[in-house]
A and B are shown apart, each in its own frame.
Chain A
Amino acid sequence: MTKALTLFDKVWDSHVVRRIEDGPDILFIDRHFIHEVTSPVAFLNMDKRGMSVIYPERTFATADHNTPTIDQHLPVKDPLSAMQLQALESNSAKNGISHWGLGHKKNGIVHVVGPENGITLPSMTIVCGDSHTSTHGAFGAIAFGIGTSEVEMVLASQCIMQTKPKKMRIEINGQLSESVVPKDVILYVISKISASGGTGHFVEYAGEVFENMSMEGRMTVCNMSIEMGARGGIIAPDNKAIEYLKGREYAPKGEAWDKLETYWATLRTDEGAEYDIVHTFDAADIEPMITYGTNPGLGIGISKAIPSPTDVMDGQASYEKSLVYMGFNVGEQMVGKHVDYVFMGSCTNGRIEDFRQFAKVVKGKQKADNVTAWLVPGSQKVEAKIREEGILDILTEAGFKLRQPGCSACLAMNDDKVPAGKYAVSTSNRNFEGRQGPGARTMLASPLVAAAAAVTGVVTDPRELIN
């Protein structure tokens, strides 16, 4: 009898070009995404070594990290950002790589444009110099973030050296409650296993909750796998994944597609396959979530109070430092906390479904006067859809403006910075100190919670506004 394998084993093993004894595997990479911040030095080093790009058709470039989210038709004001964007464009042109710069109809955040153009497919290996590459695992791909030296390796050889991670299974069964969305599911998981609970592992998400989840939702979940330290997350590619991709521009067509569908149906974890760690949770225990500290593991159900140091996995000194930074105290309720900024967007929650959720809450209400709201679509295509579906009208009537696509305030490399000491409810993925600007205080939450904060001006349980 052959050994029972996990979904992850099947995809990983099919990409191993060579195994180095007591060393890493040489892994073939099917798709490589690059952006303006982590690729210039890789190209520079390749020039120095006189190397060329081995398979330009396997790499795709999009500008997203430092781009402005207003007036994208004008020259980029910040000279350093402009230089990085120029480098991406010229490096792509010189090497024959598809490049979607500012204003291009396919431009957007790398982890949004990959799937929406059918570049991401099940059973692929996908890398990018960005830790949220784990997003693409929603389609049954092995996808993870890499450093610039590794970007250089992939450009030059289409391979990367990696030690095979251990395997973790996260299974959640049951039905999610009203107003509990995929972002809450992943924030809940991270709060249970901590910001380092997945380190050294690759996660497979399984169970009814993920089976019933939309592709956008699965992307939100896989996206934040890195926030528990995991290399990536993967979900078995079912019909929903296949239907999402079928017919998209870069997806294979006709017979080639049919053949792949047959193969993808075999990508399931075998009965009896072993994992190094298994976590099981009950969907009914999850409520809308919000973070109160400075790592994504410090989150709680929105109706709860900030826990004491003995109830969290972080060390006491680090925990106290975190609360001091946030200006919060043990025992305080999160509901009612003052909010200055709301950021709706990012590779975590910048897709059409996320904007539908946001619009559902703000419809017929008005933006609170004390809140500055940045609504940033994940791509040009998402922006077009927001207009097409009438969501823009709902947002405009409620006093919101829509910005242009990019990573924006998730990492605040452009002008979208939350000022020091101010509080932001953000649909992005990291609440680290200074992540959204020096001194900025971030509370991570779902689009529903962000919308509820945007119209009330304080942290609010969205269930009170929807029901």
Chain B
Amino acid sequence: MAYDKFDILTSSVVPMPIENVDTDQIIPARFLKAVERKGFGDNLFRDWRYNSDDSPKEDFVLNNPVYSGKILAGGKNFGCGSSREHAAWAVYDYGFRCVVSSFFADIFSNNCLNIGVLPVTVSPEFLDHLYTEIEKDPATQVEVNLNTQKITMLSSGLQETFAINTYKKNNLLNGYDDIDYLMAMKDEIEEFATTRPF
């Protein structure tokens, strides 16, 4: 098993209604110098979260004790820019297991799936509703059910179905990763390699 299994997650949500959140914001390049995967959560959203003297910026959502949870809800085009998987590691290491947005950048979304963080794409209307409900009650709970592919606002009952391909869904439900699959088809790959002209 390569990472945590994902089945049903019920949690409050940290709202971040900002568009085009790029991976340089999620984890700035100067924190990519590790040769091991640990400690990235401390620098999640580093420059939005801390002043240059390392004191917390009080108006940033992660520093507001009112908001907490295992789900992060970001604006449109979340995770754009650099392919650094460190961004997904930072999200995971901080404690998030699911990111909700109306639109994800491709590489970030792949990176999340590859480490066991579930990206859930919802309609802009659902996302707006989610932000409104959190504004009313920051402790409001959201249920993400991977098996049924449903996301539900428990306060209002509003529900949406989200898309994920069957292969990735099974991986997440069971905690398998792609390497296991690829290593099992080594002979087929080796045969294919002999047909390449270079």
Interface residues of chain A, those whose CB is within 8 Å of chain B, are 17-18, 20-24, 26, 28, 30, 37-38, 40-41, 44, 49, 51, 54-55, 65-66, 78, 80-81, 83-84, 87, 121, 124, 129-131, 145-150, 152-153, 156-159, 161-163, 165, 195-196, 199-200, 226, 229, 231, 252, 256, 259-260, 263, 295, 314-315, 317-318, 321, 411-413, 420, 430, 432-435, 438-439
Contacts and interface: CB of A to CB of B under 8 A. Distances in A.
Interface string B165-198: 1111000000001110111011011001100111
B89 to A, nearest CB: 8
A413 B32 contact: yes
B86 to A, nearest CB: 8
Given A41-B35, A156-B183, A318-B75, A196 B193 contact: no
Which of B18, B19, B183: most chain A Cβ within 10 A?
Answer: B19
Which of B25, B32, B36, B47: most chain A Cβ within 10 A?
Answer: B32
Contacts of B103: 196, 199
B61 interface: no
A260 B197 contact: yes
Q: Which are the 8 A-B pairs with shortest beta-carbon distances? A: A23-B167, A147-B85, A80-B33, A145-B83, A147-B111, A149-B114, A196-B77, A40-B35
A17 B105 contact: no
Contacts of A149: 85, 111, 114-115, 177-179
B47 A434 contact: yes
Contact of B30 (A30, A412, A439): A412
Contacts of B80: 195-196, 199, 229, 295
A433 B47 contact: yes
Size category of the binding interface on chain B: 35 or more
Nearest to B113: A149
A430 B20 contact: no
A165 B106 contact: yes
Nearest to B112: A147
A148 B115 CA distance: 10
Contacts of A252: 198
Nearest to A131: B83
B25 to A, nearest CB: 6
B79 to A, nearest CB: 10
B19 to A, nearest CB: 4
A346 B106 CA distance: 23
B81 interface: yes
Interface majority SS (helix, strand, loop, mixed), chain A: loop
A434 B28 contact: yes
Given A229-B106, A260-B197, A196 B76 contact: yes
A66 B182 contact: no
Contacts of A124: 198
B188 A18 contact: yes
Interface in B31-61: 32-37, 47, 52
Contact of B167 (A17, A20, A84, A146): A20
B34 A80 contact: yes
A38 B167 contact: no
Contacts of A163: 165
Contacts of B32: 37-38, 65, 413
B110 interface: yes
A28 B192 contact: yes
B144 interface: no
A65 B105 CA distance: 22
B83 A130 contact: yes
A75 B48 CA distance: 33
23 contacts: A20-B167, A22-B167, A24-B165, A26-B185, A38-B32, A41-B34, A41-B37, A54-B186, A81-B33, A129-B83, A130-B82, A147-B114, A153-B178, A156-B182, A158-B189, A195-B77, A229-B105, A252-B198, A295-B20, A318-B19, A412-B30, A413-B30, A433-B47
A160 to B, nearest CB: 8
Contacts of A231: 106-107
B193 A28 contact: yes
A199 B106 contact: yes
Given A87-B35, A157-B179, A432 B47 contact: no
B28 to A, nearest CB: 6
A420 B111 contact: no
A157 B186 contact: yes
B183 A51 contact: yes
Contacts of A22: 165-167
A161 B178 contact: yes
Given A131-B83, A200-B106, A152 B179 contact: yes
B22 interface: yes
A413 to B, nearest CB: 5
Nearest to B180: A49
A263 B188 CA distance: 25
Given A156-B179, A231-B106, A433 B189 contact: no
Given A37-B33, A51-B179, A145-B83, 18 more contacts: A17-B185, A17-B188, A22-B167, A23-B166, A24-B165, A30-B196, A54-B186, A54-B189, A66-B33, A84-B33, A130-B82, A130-B83, A149-B114, A158-B189, A259-B197, A430-B24, A430-B82, A433-B24
A4 B20 CA distance: 36
B95 interface: no
A28 B189 contact: yes
B25 A150 contact: no
Contact of A131 (B107, B165, B181): B107
Interface in B110-147: 110-111, 114-115
